[in-house]
Amino acid sequence: MSTTPSKANAGKDSSGISFTALYTGAVWHRHGLSDDVLATDQGRWLYHLMTPFEASSKALIGGNIRTFLLQRHLIIDHLIEQALERGVTQVLEIACGMSPRGIRLRDKHPLIHMVEADLPDMATRKASRLLVSGRLGDHHQVMPVDILAESGEQSLETVVGRAFANNAPMIVVTEGLTGYFSLPVISRFWRRLAQLMQQRPGSVYLSESYLMPKQPLLRGSLKSLGGILGAITRSDVSFHFLNDQEAAEHFAACGFPSVTVNNPTDFYRRLPIPDSRHDPMVRVVEASS
């Protein structure tokens, strides 16, 4: 996500998160998951810049950022396909950045209604690239959203109402977003989303969460890395949970009646995802109304 903070979160600025959005987009493109229209020069530069760090991390802890990015992305795609098979036809991807998911879903399922949303600057950037490729239309839209705004045109409630003018179930995806906010802040968004989903029975929310590792040395290193990344992105980079049960219980307390916390190890050999040497840090949360 990018651009200025909402009034609901005055004093915080998430404009730096576009830095990570461009890097993530470059990872998708390098691994054949993205479209050339979404490739950026900044993303390619960041990919090369990060390569030595990624190689060191892979050797040291058996996994790196790229491993976790690919694990979460492909598992979320798999869970979206399962929801589509159950008859859900509306997809909202919040903090879409340069995610290729909308293009891939519409190519594979031309009858679905795909809405991509992000803060205004990133939404404008994404819309211009999709427009050039001839992909925007009544069933593939880009909208500005600010998940911290509790009212107004960019609020979650307004965007969902504009995107899907019915009470049919929807799939909501936030990938690479929630870890940039403290647990109290992002929990307010989760509670509002849960209320919206209750009005649309059969809806599914998909997001990733990173668990804080148990090893003291690794935990200290990641806290330091999180502090650096938080300074770069001007956000509260956070590891919200210590284990799967804690994550499931918290989402249930936010108002999601059905919660599954998916470990990438359960998808090894089932999906083309890279392995981690140890228990992966990333989880994919699947919460249903």
- Predicted pLDDT at 19: 62
Angle at which helices 216-233 and 17-30 pack, to 10 degrees?
110
Amino acid identity at 287: A
The whole-angstrom separation of Cα 122 and Cα 257 is 32
- Predicted pLDDT at 12: 40
- Predicted pLDDT at 77: 98
Instruction: Write down the CATH number for the domain with range 13-288.
Output: 3.40.50.150
Q: Where are the domains of the chain?
A: 13-288
- Cα 186-191-197 angle, rounded to 5 deg: 125
Contact 3, 15 (CB under 8 A): yes
Give first-to-last CA distance, the chain, whole Å: 26
Task: For residue 260, count CB atoms less than 10 angstroms from its CB and return exposed for 0-12, middle for 13-18, buried for 19 or more.
Answer: middle
The whole-angstrom separation of Cα 5 and Cα 148 is 8
Over residues 180-237, the pLDDT tens digits come to 899 999 999 999 999 999 999 999 999 999 987 665 444 444 554 444 444 544 555 6
Angle at which helices 17-30 and 120-132 pack, to 10 degrees?
30
Q: Which residues of the chain have pLDDT under 50?
A: 1-17, 216-221, 224-230, 232-233
Tokens of 188: 């307010």
- Predicted pLDDT at 7: 35
- Predicted pLDDT at 184: 96
- Predicted pLDDT at 57: 62
Amino acid identity at 284: V
- Predicted pLDDT at 54: 64
Q: How would you write the chain as a 3-class SS string?
A: CCCCCCHHHCCCCCCCHHHHHHHHHHHHHHCCCCCHHHCCHHHHHHHHHHHHHHHHHHHHHCCCHHHHHHHHHHHHHHHHHHHHHCCCCEEEEECCCCCCHHHHHHHHCCCCEEEEEECHHHHHHHHHHHHHCCCCECCEEEEECCCCCCCCCCCHHHHHHHHCCCCCCCEEEECCCHHHCCHHHHHHHHHHHHHHHHCCCCCEEEEEEEECCCCHHHHHHHHHHHHHHHHHHCCCCCCCECCHHHHHHHHHHCCCCEEEEECHHHHECCECCCCCCCCCCEEEEEEEC
- Predicted pLDDT at 58: 66
Closest CA to 282 of 259, 266, 258: 266
- Predicted pLDDT at 111: 96
